[in-house]
Amino acid sequence: MADARLVIGTRKGLFIVARNNGDWIVEHAALLGEPVTLVLPQSDGGLLVAVEHGHFGVKLKRSNDGGQTWEERPTPKYPEKPDDVEDLDPVRHEPIPWDVKTVWALESGGPDNADELWCGTIPGGLFHSVDGGDSWSFVDSLWSHPDRKCWVGGGADYPGIHSVVVDPRNSDVIRIGVSCGGVWISEDRGATWRCYGEGMRAAYMPPDQAYDMRTQDPHCLVQCRTSPERLWVQHHNGIFRSDDCGLHWTEIEEAGPSTFGFGVVVDPSDPDTAWFIPAVRDDERYPVDGKLVVTRTSDGGQSFETLTKGLPQEHAYDLVFRHALAIDEQGETLAFGSSTGNLWISDDRGDSWSHVSSSLPPIYCVRFV
Amino acid sequence: MAYLYFTPNLARQVECPPGELEAGTVSELLERYFSQWPAVRGYVLDDQGAVRKHVKVVVDDNYLIDRDELSDPVRPDSKVYVFQLLSGG
């Protein structure tokens, strides 16, 4: 615990937060002024980050010295779009750009594949690296799947892959969450894909299409490390749990003040314990009654505790994005950052929260090192 | 030879000194520059080779017209400037 660290990606740079004599402090700032949308601590100690320049596009950068210095790394790139291919958004009938707009998922290929990386993007392309990010290959099997044409934007103008979950039992098995395009699985390391999982409900679709797997908007997909058959999804209109590796989903209809939110984390050692940070609903993206809370279930979603100790209970309008809630490897320490630059950390599984900073830029992602 | 200049804001991200190159179009001008400075390409052009949405290219005081193919003509004494748009920040 003594050397515990957090890496925070924000609208205006990257920040490293460390424990110092028992207190969490912001220890280092890097890449100031640059939007850092995702961070991936790598097994060799390096930090790989996605920087989204407003003008000059998305770039990947890596630091080998804890964030002191950075070098640009190869960025995933879409293939040249053939002239005879029509690729239109199914709702607006506008062309889908074959261009990396946002790096929305960045994950390692599993504990037995330290050199492999997966990168999900807006507008929906998935990329794979087998050399630690020295080069990237475009996963055409997913992009060319006919059902990819059903995907639509969720939160952004174009669809995107925000969750890449490598099965801890078998790193050939990859699950992804798509907003909006449902949950997909590959059991052959990305060679083939299928949209799967019955039971998710899309309240924003006509009744006859509400259970169409391809129109679901899973905001965040996570898998329990020690009980991998258990998956959790924070969905656009609720919380869903699967007990059979994602084949079937059960909707959790009550979860404290609201079931709407973006992030979810699951205890790596207890599939029944998961945490969420609710907002009112999709068109009111702030905490219910201006009271910021974390909700925790310890019984698989049958009941929820509403955790408030250390969190503001009046005039709090923080929204926590999908990558901005994190849990450490031991399942003891949690952290989250908000759209208004607040950062909280809990060393007791969410029972109480320490307010680390109120003056950071808007926080996009939080990850433990 | 045509003169090519990049905003200092881009130089903060990637080395991009001014260049003087022979070219008949903006596309030729940039390709010849990128052959010397390949890291600059991805900052100016998107994955399909079009000018990025929030990048502005000015050719002899006129905004670039063909932002997809970059076919606008360049004269030997042309001055081409690559700036960022004020949108997109």
Q: What is the pLDDT of residues A240-278, one digit of tens each?
A: 999 999 999 999 999 999 999 999 999 999 999 999 999
The encoded tokens of residue B81 equal 């400037």
Is A318 a residue whose pLDDT tops 60? Answer: yes
One-letter amino acid of B2: A
Which of the four pLDDT bands, split at 50, 70 and 90, describes residue A320? Answer: very high
Sign of CA dihedral B84, A154, A223, A171: negative
Q: What is the Cα–Cα distance from A343 to B38, expressed in whole angstroms?
A: 39
Q: What is the pLDDT of residues A96-111, one digit of tens each?
A: 999 999 999 999 999 8
Tokens 């239109």 sit on residue: A88
Is B85 a residue whose pLDDT tops 50? Answer: yes
In chain A, pLDDT over 70 holds for what percent of residues? 99
- Chain A interface includes B48 (CB < 8 A): yes
Shortest Cα–Cα distance, A98 to chain B (Å)? 7
A1-25: average pLDDT? 89
Asked whether the beta carbons of residue B47 and residue A77 sit closer than 8 angstroms, the reply is yes
Residue A114, pLDDT score = 81
Q: What is the Cα–Cα distance from A260 to A277, expressed in whole angstroms?
A: 8
A58-86: average pLDDT? 96
Question: Among candidates A244, A249, A204, which has minimal Cα distance to A227?
Answer: A244
For residue A365, whether the previous peptide bond is cis, meaning omega lies within 30 degrees of 0, is no
- Chain B interface includes A94 (CB < 8 A): no
A67-78: average pLDDT? 97
Q: Which residue of B has its CA nearest to A56?
A: B43
Q: What is the Cα–Cα distance from A68 to A242, expressed in whole angstroms?
A: 41
Residue A1, pLDDT score = 47
Residue B7, pLDDT score = 94
Question: Is A363:A325 a contact under the CB 8 Å cutoff?
Answer: no
Q: B29 in helix, strand or coil?
A: helix
Task: Choose which CATH entry (3.90.700.10, 3.40.50.800, 2.130.10.10, 3.40.50.720) describes domain A87-333+345-355.
Answer: 2.130.10.10
Q: Which residue has the higher pLDDT, A82 or A155?
A: A82
Shortest Cα–Cα distance, B88 to chain A (Å)? 5
What one-character-per-residue DSSP string does A232-280 give?
Answer: EEEETTEEEEESSTTSB-EEE--BTB-SEEEEEEEETTEEEEEEEEEES
Neighbours of B22 (CB within 10 A): 11
The encoded tokens of residue B1 equal 């030879």
Please give the distance of CA A264 from its chain centroid, rounded to a whole number. 9
Q: What is the pLDDT of residues B27-57, one digit of tens each?
A: 999 999 999 999 999 999 999 999 999 999 9
Q: What are phi and psi of A362, to 5 degrees?
A: -50, 130
Shortest Cα–Cα distance, B47 to chain A (Å)? 5
Angle CA A346–A350–A356, to nearest 5: 30
- Chain A interface includes B39 (CB < 8 A): yes
Q: What is the pLDDT of residues A151-183, one digit of tens each?
A: 999 878 999 999 999 999 999 999 999 999 999
Q: What are phi and psi of B31, to 5 degrees?
A: -60, -40
Q: A107 in helix, strand or coil?
A: strand
Shortest Cα–Cα distance, B89 to chain A (Å)? 5
Q: A43 in helix, strand or coil?
A: coil
Asked whether the beta carbons of residue A55 and residue B13 sit closer than 8 angstroms, the reply is no
- Chain A interface includes B15 (CB < 8 A): no
Q: Which residue of B has its CA nearest to A80?
A: B48
The encoded tokens of residue A17 equal 């937060």
Q: Which residue of A has its CA nearest to B83?
A: A55
- Chain B positions touching A55 (Cβ under 8 A) are 9, 52, 54-55, 84-85, 88-89
Residue A21, pLDDT score = 86
Length of chain B: 89
Question: Is A35:A54 a contact under the CB 8 Å cutoff?
Answer: yes
Is A314 a residue whose pLDDT tops 70? Answer: yes
Pairing of strands A5-10, A363-368: antiparallel
Pairing of strands B79-84, B2-6: parallel
Task: Note the CATH number of domain B2-84.
Answer: 3.10.20.30
Residue A333, pLDDT score = 97
B48-77: average pLDDT? 96
A331: CB partners within 8 A, 6+ apart: A267, A268, A269, A270, A273, A349
- Chain A interface includes B74 (CB < 8 A): no
Asked whether the beta carbons of residue B43 and residue A97 sit closer than 8 angstroms, the reply is no
Is B89 a residue whose pLDDT tops 80? Answer: no
Is B88 a residue whose pLDDT tops 90? Answer: no
A122-151: average pLDDT? 97
Tokens 């969410």 sit on residue: A350
Sign of CA dihedral B5, B9, B10, B11: positive
The encoded tokens of residue A213 equal 């797997």
Element containing residue B26 per DSSP (H, E): helix B26-36
Q: Which residue of B has its CA nearest to A81?
A: B48
Substitution target from A12, A31, A52, A55 for chain B, most B beta carbons within 10 A: A55
- Chain B interface includes A121 (CB < 8 A): no
Sorted by where each begins, the domain ranges of chain A are 87-333+345-355
Q: What is the Cα–Cα distance from A368 to A326, expressed in whole angstroms?
A: 7
Which of the four pLDDT bands, split at 50, 70 and 90, describes residue A112? Answer: confident
Is A210 a residue whose pLDDT tops 80? Answer: yes
Asked whether the beta carbons of residue A56 and residue B55 sit closer than 8 angstroms, the reply is yes
Sorted by where each begins, the domain ranges of chain B are 2-84
